Amino acid sequence: DAKTTQPTSMDCAEGRAANLPCNHSTISGNEYVYWYRQIHSQGPQYIIHGLKNNETNEMASLIITEDRKSSTLILPHATLRDTAVYYCIVRGQGGSEKLVFGKGTKLTVNP
């Protein structure tokens, strides 16, 4: 079962920042927070991941609370192409660790 809780859906205006929250209160010390997204009918796409520090890449920023029990994915300037289901996943980094997808958050970016 997924170890994370996310809102079912969110809306965002084009050009504005999209902030997607995720709760992972049972995360253990060696588990990372991963974010993926799935645009309609496509394969899931990796966005970003982190352990405890905030992370930023060309796609998004990841803010992890100090207690690591929750995190927020930030898309700084959402576009229509960012409309997708966003999955927050907690996972260790070993080869036998499973990437377990929950229900995710359906983000709709509106013009």
Conformation bin of residue 43: beta by default, left when phi > 0, alpha when psi is -120 to 50 = beta
Q: Are 61 and 53 in contact (CB under 8 A)?
A: no
| Residue in the block written with tokens 């588990």 | 31
| 46 or 77: CB nearest other proteins | 46
Single residue of 85, 88, 107, 109 touching other proteins by CB under 8 A: 85
Q: Which of 9, 26, 93, 110 binds other proteins (CB under 8 A)?
A: 93
The interface region with other proteins, picked from 5-13, 64-72, 74-82, 85-93 by CB under 8 A, is 85-93
Nearest to 78 by CA among 63, 61, 101, 90: 61
Q: Is 8 in the site for other proteins (CB under 8 A)?
A: no
Told to check if 81 binds other proteins by CB under 8 A, we report no
